[in-house]
């Protein structure tokens, strides 16, 4: 998979077995059989709960973009959020 | 035995790698509760104030829980007392019990055998006879697989039956407080204690209503679900038919049924499980949660902190992030959700005809074979036998049911309608009275 390293960068994890990872993604391809043309996630069910449960990790840019928002509200974020230039 | 001698005995007799920490014996134990004087173990992803909550991970090795889970409080009010925390697969990820950062627990039921997972430590400790009862969690079959591998009872209640406040969930929409015990009486009493009062701290807690109406197998229809995706081996199949014959002797009618599209089940489960795990574990960066590691730059710090996670957790985080990407979301995540709804609808139709389903816990023996390295996909597909109950929110029970010729434990599984958790225990008790060969 070409963008495996991007995933690793985004999630800050190093995948030890890339073959197993790719096999797993291929394994998920059977789901293409499912017709979702008339599927809408329900509200107030486990389904909507599930969608509240997931979110993507923030990128470095997104985290840095949050710094001024926090500053405006009087919160100084630890230096780990700051870019090298700011440090 | 005097209570002061209990902990030294536990420390001495417990199988290797099962216990994380011993707990102080409480000064006062309720003498009048339904579980009065019963010592129980607590899986180490369930909070106990002032105690370590490792979740089987180096990431939380030193984390001290600030409060106590509702489930532990309920059990204590009923007179039981927690005596130790138990080892587990890291954040509940695994089916063999070998994914803990603190070693693989020894399985007392099978020398040199894997204890099953994710509730490996809890099941092995109960199987050793050191404690009669353990609180654990089940997000895709972790309790039932470990209980089956260690030859004890494992119960996953209906989704929402027990409060999850204080349970470190990794798969939020499916994780559930569960129970492991050496007998069904303690399971029943514990389930009643855990589900009788609604917990305002858990919005999904619905509790259970115990009918106290006696269950009679006579006249009931039970569906026999022999295969989910992978063909069960000869021993598993033989055991399943033996249990079906016993139900028939008790007056039930057994009918073979087929679950549609079972080849999609494991894929749908793992898409959802990885997606939610990825989101839930994203907090462990060493900033607000997790054991912060050093580093020159913030990227280095993040990476070194995240490196505390085990290989299985890292793989699932990356898979979860992949399936949640904007361009992949509909292809994987939404389709998995659609499958989950179809499965719930199928179960709803099934309960119009059948009272219970009888099926294997796994297509092969769990204790000896470890497919997680050699053939991970086989292991994931095999999880379909247990994960179907989690996807649909149904209660499920694994019951030790005989042994193979070479002495390895075998189990069967019952799944019932949502909220009818006690039916499983009633039916299981009836067939256990007759025994493995249909004789007392």
Tell me the pLDDT tens digit for each residue of B270-300.
999 999 999 999 989 888 888 989 888 888 8
Q: Is the interface score ipTM higher than 0.95?
A: no
Residue A35's pLDDT is what? Answer: 86
pTM of the model: 0.89
The pLDDT, as a whole number, for residue B205 is 86
Which chain B residue has its CA at the smallest distance from A3's CA? B322
Mean pLDDT of B243-270: 96
The verdict on a CB contact (< 8 Å) between A15 and B341 is no
| pLDDT computed for residue A74 by the predictor | 75
Does the pLDDT at position A40 exceed 70? Answer: no
Residue B335 sits at the chain A interface (C-beta within 8 Å): yes
CA nearest B322 in A: which residue?
A7
> What is the per-residue pLDDT for B338?
93
Q: Tell me, yes or no, if A33 comes closer than 8 A to chain B by beta carbon.
A: yes
What is chain B's mean pLDDT, rounded?
92
B303 chain-A contacts, CB cut-off 8 A: 12, 14
Q: A59-73, B291-305, B339-353: lowest mean pLDDT where?
A: A59-73
**At residue B115, does pLDDT exceed 90?**
yes
Closest chain B residue to A47 measured between Cα atoms?
Answer: B337
pLDDT at B121 over 60: yes
Maximum average pLDDT range among B196-200, B287-291, B308-312: B308-312
pLDDT at residue B413 tops 80: yes
Which residues in chain B have their CB less than 8 angstroms from residue A42's CB?
341
Question: How many contacts (CB atoms, under 8 Å) link A and B?
Answer: 141
Per-residue pLDDT at B1: 59
Q: What percent of chain B has pLDDT over 90?
A: 76
B300 touching chain A per CB within 8 A: no
Strands B19-22 and B81-86: antiparallel
Q: Which pLDDT score, from 0 to 100, does residue A59 have?
A: 65
Closest chain A C-alpha to B154 CA, distance in angstroms: 24
* A4, A16, A28: residue with CB nearest B267: A28
pLDDT at B73: 95
pLDDT in tens, B48-99: 999 999 999 999 999 999 999 999 999 999 999 999 999 999 999 999 999 9
Considering only CB atoms, B321 lies closest to which of A10, A20, A42, namely A10
pLDDT bin (cut points 50, 70, 90) of residue B145 is very high
Is A60 within 8 Å of B299 when comparing Cβ atoms? yes
Strands B153-156 and B396-403, by their bridges, are antiparallel
Residue A52: its pLDDT value, please?
Answer: 44
Q: Which is it for strands B176-181 and B133-138: parallel, antiparallel or unpaired?
A: antiparallel
| B139 contacts in chain A (CB < 8 Å) | none
Interface of B with A in 30-89 (CB under 8 A): none
Give the per-residue pLDDT at A20. Answer: 87
A-chain residue closest to B323, CA distance: A25
CA distance B307 to B188: 41
Q: Is A46 on the interface with B (CB under 8 A)?
A: yes
Please list every residue in chain A whose beta carbon sits closer than 8 Å to the beta carbon of residue B393.
Answer: 46
């Amino acid at each position: 998979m070409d963008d495996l390293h991007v995933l690793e960068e985004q999630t800050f994890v190093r995948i030890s077995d890339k073959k197993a990872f790719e096999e797993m993604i291929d394994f998920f391809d059977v789901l293409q059989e499912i017709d979702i043309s008339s599927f809408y996630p329900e509200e107030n069910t486990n389904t909507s709960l599930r969608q509240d449960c997931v979110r993507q990790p923030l990128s470095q840019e997104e985290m840095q973009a949050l710094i001024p928002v926090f500053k405006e509200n009087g919160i100084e974020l630890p230096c780990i959020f700051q870019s090298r230039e700011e440090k | 035995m005097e209570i002061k001698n209990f902990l030294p005995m536990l420390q001495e007799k417990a199988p290797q790698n099962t216990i994380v920490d011993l707990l102080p014996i409480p000064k006062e134990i309720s003498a009048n509760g339904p579980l009065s004087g019963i010592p129980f173990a607590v899986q180490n992803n369930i909070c106990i104030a002032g105690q370590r909550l490792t979740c089987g991970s180096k990431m939380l090795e030193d984390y001290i829980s600030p409060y106590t889970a509702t489930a532990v409080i309920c059990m204590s009010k009923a007179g039981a007392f927690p005596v130790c925390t138990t080892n587990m697969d890291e954040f509940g990820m695994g089916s063999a019990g070998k994914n803990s950062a603190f070693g693989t627990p020894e399985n007392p039921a099978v020398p040199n055998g894997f204890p099953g997972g994710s509730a490996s430590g809890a099941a092995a400790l109960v199987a050793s006879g050191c404690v009669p009862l353990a609180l654990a969690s089940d997000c895709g079959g972790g309790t039932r697989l470990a209980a089956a591998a260690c030859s004890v009872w494992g119960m996953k209640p209906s989704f929402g039956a027990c409060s999850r406040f204080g349970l470190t969930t990794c798969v939020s929409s499916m994780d559930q407080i569960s129970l492991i015990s050496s007998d069904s009486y303690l399971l029943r009493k514990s389930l009643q204690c855990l589900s009788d009062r609604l917990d305002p701290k858990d919005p999904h807690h619905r509790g259970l209503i115990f009918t106290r109406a006696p269950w009679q197998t006579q006249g009931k229809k039970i569906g026999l679900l022999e295969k989910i995706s992978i063909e069960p081996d000869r021993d598993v199949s033989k055991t399943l038919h033996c249990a079906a014959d016993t139900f028939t002797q008790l007056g039930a009618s057994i009918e073979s049924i087929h679950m549609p599209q079972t080849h999609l089940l494991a894929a749908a489960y793992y898409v959802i499980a990885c997606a939610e795990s990825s989101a839930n574990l994203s907090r462990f960066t060493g900033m607000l949660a997790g054991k912060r590691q050093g580093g020159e730059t913030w990227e280095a710090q993040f990476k070194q902190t995240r490196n505390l996670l085990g290989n299985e957790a890292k793989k699932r985080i990356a898979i979860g992030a992949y399936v949640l990407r904007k361009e992949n979301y509909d292809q994987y995540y939404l389709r998995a959700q659609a499958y989950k709804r179809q499965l719930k609808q199928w179960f709803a139709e099934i309960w119009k005809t059948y009272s219970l389903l009888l099926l294997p816990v796994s297509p092969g023996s769990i204790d000896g074979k470890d497919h997680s390295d050699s053939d991970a996909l086989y292991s994931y597909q095999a999880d379909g036998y247990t994960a179907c109950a989690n996807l649909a929110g149904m209660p499920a029970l694994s019951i030790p049911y005989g042994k193979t010729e070479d002495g390895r434990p075998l189990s069967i599984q019952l799944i019932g309608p949502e909220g009818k958790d006690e039916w499983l225990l009633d039916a299981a008790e009836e067939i256990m009275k007759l025994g493995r060969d249909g004789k007392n």
